[in-house]
Amino acid sequence: MGKPTGFLEYMRELPADRPPLDRVRDWKEFHLHQDEKQLRQQGARCMDCGVPFCHTGKLISGMAAGCPVHNLIPEWNDLVFRGHWQQALERLHKTNNFPEFTGRVCPAPCEGSCVLGINNPPVTIKNIEYSIIERGWDEGWVLPKPPRVRTGKKVAVIGSGPAGLSAAAQLNTAGHTVTVYERADRPGGLLMYGIPNMKLDKQEVVLRRIQLLKQEGVTFVCNTAVGENLAAADLLKQFDATVVCTGATLPRDLPIEGRNLPGVHFAMEFLTASTKAVLAGDGFASPINAKDKDVIVIGGGDTGTDCVGTSLRHGCRSVTQIEILPKPALARTPDNPWPEWPKTYKLDYGQEEAAARYGADPRVYLTTVKKFNADADGRVASLVTVQIKWDKNEKGQFIPVELPGTEQTRPAQLVLLAMGFLGPEQPLVKSLGLETDPRSNVKADFEKYTTSLPGVFAAGDCRRGQSLVVWAINEGRGAARECDRYLMGATDLP
């Protein structure tokens, strides 16, 4: 602990973001950098706690508390304070293969469990992590490290999202020959097409890391859907082991009147089309476009926020985000104590941009949609909402109850369904013959990752259900460890 009184001397400070009304004109990342003096002061706020919850990575009340990859946060905070940036990067890479991803898109459960956060604003852990890895890239410290010896074992990884990439990276480090199969035209999975460019730049951040993995010996095969244009049985014959990391990509639908009208899309259809347009050189020419339209986003999570931010960049006429849950409290409530994740109100980047443009948070709480209405051409033109309250049924379960007389018709020429995901798509799971759990996820115990088929492992959202990028990285690393043990009889992977 470099400065015992740092948490008393310095207040929490984050770098400024680009102004909302400026950044909605392009697809560039909106976060700005912080200078080294400020970063070292923020590192000095870390208290080197006797029991540091920031890197525990536990589930408390169903939510992440602390870092799921168990980052050595107090260590690299202290190293940043002392100016030892390269050593800080070494500590960071010990637990996290891709800190440039988590430093941008992770919601930072580490900060929610920071001990300083009990009675003061927590340490800026996420921003320090981001700054360490970007300093590493800028200084040329992040270099390819191919294994010195190959084992002769071949492993297939199905899916190139954060779980698949971390599994591939670790298995390659162990000396196995790794091939990653991706059904899209570019590797990256969720990182490539599920998160917009202004949050996570594809060329300068995602493809930068994938290129490094290629230099280390990992092979990527795109436009290949296992179970469709590559038979699952053939794949299993070609490899000594397989790790399934396909994510939970089956979206939750809204089966109400008018659902099939043109103009009603799943969020990922919209976000994927937009990112492909950005990569093609004109993000404003997406085939699913919000320009001059009244957009309604149904769903209040991160994906919904990304739809809001993307719609604004397209040039929508208005945007509304409908949330069935109540508005969160401004501060922790008694039933949400530290070190649980704080379920408090915040303006994320998309809502901040909408508020700057239209004067108010675009979210409407305790509201659900009853039907979609068509115009004369048969396209969606409006939808009907109704307010709800949450009551308990005869089983003691909370259910939404409509409030009579609160129906409202809202204009909408583009509707985006961002209500989460139900689990992995089943054709691949069935083609591999894998057993599933009651939620349709691939059945594999946590920290074992072994499926019902010997030599086949599962990790990430396809195993645990929709979750955070940092949990996917955790699971990919864990599955690699167990796969290595299966292949070699023992493992040195963390």
What is the CA angle 95-97-99, rounded to 5?
Answer: 90
Q: Please tell me whether residue 434 adopts helix, strand or coil conformation.
A: coil
> How far is residue 381 CA from its own chain's centroid?
32
Express each pLDDT in 100-145 by its tens digit.
999 999 999 999 999 999 999 999 999 999 999 999 999 999 999 9
Express each pLDDT in 148-168 by its tens digit.
999 999 999 999 999 999 999
The domains of the chain are located at 6-139, 154-249+422-488, 253-419
d(CA 288, CA 274): 7
CATH topology of domain 154-249+422-488: FAD/NAD(P)-binding domain (3.50.50)
Up-side HSE of residue 420: CA atoms within 13 Å toward CB? 11
**β-bridge pairing 414-417 and 264-266:** parallel
d(CA 494, CA 147): 16
Per-residue pLDDT band at 64 (split at 50, 70, 90)? confident
List beta partners, residue 320.
296
Domain 154-249+422-488 shares a fold with domain 253-419 = yes
Q: Write down the pTM of the prediction.
A: 0.95
Over 90: is that where the pLDDT of 62 sits? no
Enter the CATH code of domain 253-419: 3.50.50.60
List beta partners, residue 416.
265, 297
What is the signed CA dihedral for 275, 281, 283, 289, rounded to 10 degrees? -100
The stretches of 45-182 forming alpha helices (DSSP H) are 73-82, 85-95, 99-105, 109-112, 125-139, 162-173
Nearest to 245 by CA among 167, 192, 155, 169: 167
Express each pLDDT in 447-473 by its tens digit.
899 999 999 999 999 999 999 999 999
Residue type, 88: A
d(CA 218, CA 211): 9
Up-side HSE of residue 46: CA atoms within 13 Å toward CB? 29
Total count of residues recorded for the chain: 494
Per-position DSSP letters for 292-339, written without gaps between them: T-EEEEE--SHHHHHHHHHHHHHT-SEEEEE-SSPPPBSS--TTS-TT
Output the six-digit token pair for 245.
Answer: 């990391």
> How far is residue 226 CA from its own chain's centroid?
23
Output the six-digit token pair for 424.
Answer: 């992995």
Residue type, 493: L
For the chain, the average pLDDT equals 96
Percent of the chain whose pLDDT exceeds 70: 100
d(CA 6, CA 116): 11
Strand ranges in 329-378 using DSSP code E only, listed in sequence order: 363-364, 367-374
Q: Which residues contact 4 (CB under 8 A, 6 or more apart)?
A: none
The region, left, alpha or beta by phi > 0 then psi within -120 to 50, assigned to residue 100 is alpha
The correct answer on CATH 1.10.1060.10 for the domain covering 6-139 is: yes
> How far is residue 471 CA from its own chain's centroid?
9
Element (H, E) at 482: helix 469-488
Strand ranges in 159-278 using DSSP code E only, listed in sequence order: 177-181, 219-221, 241-244, 250-251, 264-266
pLDDT of residue 50: 85
Express each pLDDT in 339-363 by its tens digit.
999 999 999 999 999 999 999 999 9
Over 90: is that where the pLDDT of 395 sits? no
Phi, psi of 112 (to 5 degrees): -65, -20
Phi, psi of 127 (to 5 degrees): -70, -35
CA dist 204 to 21, 58, 146, 208, 362, Å? 23, 32, 22, 6, 31
Instruction: Tell me if 131 sits within 8 A of 123, measured CB to CB.
Output: no
According to DSSP, residue 16 is labeled P
> Residue 119, Cβ neighbours under 10 Å: how many?
7
Express each pLDDT in 252-272 by its tens digit.
999 999 999 999 999 999 999
Percent of the chain whose pLDDT exceeds 90: 93
Mean pLDDT across the stretch 187-215?
Answer: 97
Per-residue pLDDT band at 1 (split at 50, 70, 90)? low
List beta partners, residue 265.
416
Output the six-digit token pair for 401.
Answer: 């109850």
Using CB atoms within 10 Å of the CB of residue 198, give its burial: 0 to 12 exposed, 13 to 18 middle, 19+ buried.
Answer: buried
